[in-house]
Amino acid sequence: MRDEFGEIGSSDVSGKLLFSEHHLSHAASAFFPSPFQRAAVLTLDGVGEWTTSSVALGHGSSLEILNEIHFPHSLGLLYSAFTYYTGFKVNSGEYKLMGLAPYGEPKFVNLIREHLIDIKPDGSFRLNMDYFDYCTGLTMTNERFDRLFGGPPRSPEALLTQREMDLAASVQSMTEEVIVKMGRSIAAETKERNLCLAGGVALNCVANGKLLRDGCFDDIWVQPAAGDAGGALGAALSVYHLYKKQPRAMPTSGDSMAGSYLGPEFGQADIENRLRAAGARFRVVDEPGLLEECATALVDSKALGWFQGRMEFGPRALGARSILGDARSPQMQSVLNLKIKYRESFRPFAPAVLAEDVSEWFEVDRPSPYMLMVADVQKSHRRQPTQAENELFGIEKLKVPRSDIPAVTHVDYSARVQTVHRETNPLFYGLISRFKQQTGCSVIVNTSFNIRGEPIVHKPEDAFRCFMGSEIDVLAVGRCVLRKEDQDLALRIDYRDAVADD
C-alpha cells in the first residue's frame, strides 16, 4: 500500500490515514443519513474483517457497536452458498435466487435447519462447517453438501428445474426467519422503535418487507447502497461524526440521501455533442414535450430508455438511468427480459409509483424510495387464476397475469416497490404523472438501463450504444428524443450472443 501511495507522490502516510472497520462503516452508512434521531442498527453481509453481522445503537452523532457475529458463521455466505449451488455467480447472482424463490416451495427448510444452521431464539446462529468449503477450498460447498441435497451443483446456464426453485424458496425462508428473529430480539433489548439496515444482505428486499410487516419496529430505513459500495460513504461519515466529533444535521423531511441521486450528470449542450459524436439522430424538445412524447410511448407499449439528471448511487436504477415500460402490459416483463436485458425470463421487475398513490396499488402505507421493500399488490387490483392456471408449476406460472399491473406483479402477488417523490426527482415524477393522466394508472415498470453483464450506463454515448444494441424503442437523454426507426442501421449492435454472465 505504501508503494501505491508513493506513485501518487505521498509515500509518507503516517498520521494521514484513518481506517474504519467494515461493519462500523456499514452501520454509519445506515444510521447517519437516516431520518431517525436515534435507532438500532443491524448490519449483515458475507464477511468484513472477521465480522459477518453486527448490532449497533445510534443516537444523534454517536454510534456504538453492541454485538457481533464472526466468520465463518455468516448469513450472507449461507445465501451465497445456495447461489453457487443453484448455478448462479456468487456476489452478483444472489438477487436471482431471491427472484426465483416464489416459483418454488420451501421443501428443504428442515434439511437446512437440521444440518446447516443452528438458529437461536434471538436470531444468532452458527453454521455447520462440515458442509461448506469457503474457509479453505475454492468453492462454496463440498461433496457432503451435494449428498445432502441430492446431487452436484447446477451448471451455469443449464435448464432451471423445480429443484433449484425449491432450494431458492428454502434458503430465502431461512434467511427471513433469522432476520425477523434478530429484529425482534434487537427491539426487545434496545427498546428502540426504529431500525436501520446495511450490508449486502440488507438488499434482500423480501426479507426487509417481512421484517417491516412483523411490526417489531415502527419504521425501518435501509441504506440504498447497502452493499460494500456504501462502505465508502459510511467510512466518511464515521470519521466526520465519530473521529472529528462533528454534529449531525437532521433533515427537515425524509432522509439525507437526496433520493440517492448522487452521481454524475451532463448538461444539455454536452449531451447533444456526445450524441452527435456517436452518430445518433435526435430531436430536441422542451420539458412538456419530452414528458408528453415519452408518456405516449409508454402507453403505446414501447420500451423507453430514460437518461436524466444525476446518476443513482447504489445498485438500483431509480429513474435516472432506467428502462421503463407500461406495467399494465402482460407481455412487458418477458419483452424486457428476453429482448432488451437478454436475461432469464423469471427475473422480476420493479414498479415505480407516485408516492401519494402507493397505498392505492400496494399493501404498504409508507415511502419506499429505494426499491428495498417488497409489498403485495392490493387485493382490489389482483386477478384470481383459473383452476387450470393454478395447476401450473415452476416457470410456467410466469404466463399467468396476476393483477391489473402484471408486468410488475410477481407470482406470489409481491412487488419490489419504488415510491417516486416530486421533491427528489421532479422530472421522473412528472413522467409518471403524465402517464397517469393518459391512463388512470400511476404505476410503470422501472429497471436498470443496461443489458445483462454490463454496468448501468454512465454517459450519453453509453445510453445510445445500449439503445442500438437492444430492442429499446425510444430513448430520452436530457431533452433529446431518439427513435429507433430514425437511426443509422449501420450503427446497430447485436448483443444477443455477446452478453456476459451476471
Per-residue H/E/C for 132-178:
ECCCCCCCCECHHHHHHCCCCCCCCCCCCCHHHHHHHHHHHHHHHHH
pLDDT at 116 over 80: yes
Stretch 396-401: mean pLDDT, rounded? Answer: 75
> Would you list the DSSP string of 81-131?
HHHHHTTPPTTTSHHHHHHHGGGS--TTHHHIIIIIEEE-TTS-EEE-GGG
> pLDDT for 90-114, tens place per residue?
998 999 999 999 999 999 999 999 9
Stretch 252-270: mean pLDDT, rounded? Answer: 95
Binned at pLDDT 50, 70 and 90, residue 11 comes out as low
CA dist 189 and 257 (Å) reads 29
Binned at pLDDT 50, 70 and 90, residue 396 comes out as confident
| The amino acid at 239 | V
Is residue 156 reached through a cis peptide bond, with omega within 30 degrees of 0 on the bond before it? no
**Neighbouring C-alpha atoms within 13 Å toward the C-beta of 251:** 13
The SS3 assignment for 20 reads coil
Binned at pLDDT 50, 70 and 90, residue 16 comes out as confident
Binned at pLDDT 50, 70 and 90, residue 502 comes out as low
CA dist 328 and 322 (Å) reads 18
- Tell me what pLDDT residue 454 has: 87
424 close to 261: Cβ distance less than 8 angstroms:
yes
Binned at pLDDT 50, 70 and 90, residue 63 comes out as very high
Binned at pLDDT 50, 70 and 90, residue 494 comes out as confident
Angle between helices 162-190 and 75-85 (to 10 degrees): 170
pLDDT at 174 over 90: yes
Binned at pLDDT 50, 70 and 90, residue 387 comes out as confident
> pLDDT for 345-362, tens place per residue?
677 789 999 999 999 999
Stretch 363-385: mean pLDDT, rounded? Answer: 94
- Tell me what pLDDT residue 17 has: 82
- Tell me what pLDDT residue 445 has: 97
- Tell me what pLDDT residue 397 has: 74
Binned at pLDDT 50, 70 and 90, residue 263 comes out as very high
Stretch 479-497: mean pLDDT, rounded? Answer: 89
pLDDT at 487 over 70: yes
Please work out, in degrees rounded to the nearest 5, the angle formed at the alpha carbon of residue 260 by the alpha carbons of 258 and 264: 100
> pLDDT for 120-147, tens place per residue?
999 999 999 999 999 988 899 999 999 9
Binned at pLDDT 50, 70 and 90, residue 402 comes out as confident
Report all structural domains of the chain as residue ranges with CATH numbers, in order of start. Answer: 15-256 (3.30.420.40), 260-491 (3.90.870.20)
Q: Is 453 exposed, middle or buried (0-12, 13-18, 19+ CB in 10 A)?
A: middle
- Residue 295 backbone phi and psi in degrees, to 5: -65, -40
> pLDDT for 160-170, tens place per residue?
999 999 999 99
- Tell me what pLDDT residue 214 has: 97
pLDDT at 338 over 90: no
181 close to 123: Cβ distance less than 8 angstroms:
yes
The SS3 assignment for 355 reads helix
- Tell me what pLDDT residue 259 has: 96
Residues 6+ apart with CB under 8 A from 178: 75, 117, 119, 123, 125
255 close to 221: Cβ distance less than 8 angstroms:
yes
Q: Is 147 exposed, middle or buried (0-12, 13-18, 19+ CB in 10 A)?
A: exposed
- Tell me what pLDDT residue 482 has: 98
Stretch 17-44: mean pLDDT, rounded? Answer: 96
484 close to 477: Cβ distance less than 8 angstroms:
no
> pLDDT for 268-294, tens place per residue?
999 999 999 999 999 999 999 999 999
Residues 6+ apart with CB under 8 A from 179: 44, 75, 123, 201, 204, 207, 210, 211
Between 9 and 351, where is the model more confident? 351
- Tell me what pLDDT residue 333 has: 81
Between 398 and 465, where is the model more confident? 465
Which residues lie across from 198 on neighbouring strands?
A: 43
pTM value? 0.92
Best-predicted range by mean pLDDT (185-199, 335-349, 444-458): 185-199
Pick the range with the lowest mean pLDDT from 6-10, 173-177, 233-237, 288-292.
Answer: 6-10
With a pLDDT cut of 70, the percent of the chain lying above it is 93
Stretch 57-75: mean pLDDT, rounded? Answer: 97
- Tell me what pLDDT residue 6 has: 66
Instruction: Give the three cell numbers for residue 220.
Output: 425501518
